[in-house]
Amino acid sequence: MELKKYINTYIVGFIGSLVLLLSEFFSWFSDYNLIEEYIFYSITPIEDSFLYLFPLLSGIICLIASILVIYKIELKVKSVILSLVGLGFFVVFFIDYIIHEIITFPNPGIGFYLGVAGFLLILFNILNMLLTIEKQTEGN
């Protein structure tokens, strides 16, 4: 079966998406996780409260992209595009969140490390898919 041939390398994106989703529920820099910070900041009139949902949204988009490529290998290019969109949300969150939190120099929590690890796994999966697409077109 063709699925067993590709599942070993493309499962990395699936695991990265799950790790990115899990990072939403662990503390990043404060004692609160991002869901709790979203609820707190959405009650108060702060514009950027939706920003705390970006890792969750990014993880969901990348998870859909990973499932898409595992389900049908011909959709690799669409999966890469979806993963890049998902990582774009995470990069926007990461830059904005780090800029606000770097002022206090707190110790990062487990959520920060899970977010970075998920990001790197998804990025590795994107690079792997793009390199295998290139190898397949060179062979034809």
Check residue 54 and give its pLDDT. 84
Whether the pLDDT of residue 138 is over 60: the answer is: no
User: Cα 49 to chain center, whole Å?
Assistant: 19
Q: Distance (Å, rounded) from C-alpha 125 to C-alpha 66?
A: 9
- What is the share, in percent, of the chain residues with pLDDT greater than 90? 4
Check residue 44 and give its pLDDT. 67
Confidence tier at 13 by pLDDT (50, 70, 90): confident
Check residue 6 and give its pLDDT. 58
Confidence tier at 17 by pLDDT (50, 70, 90): confident
Looking at the whole model, is its pTM more than 0.85? no
Look up tokens 């899990």; give the residue.
22
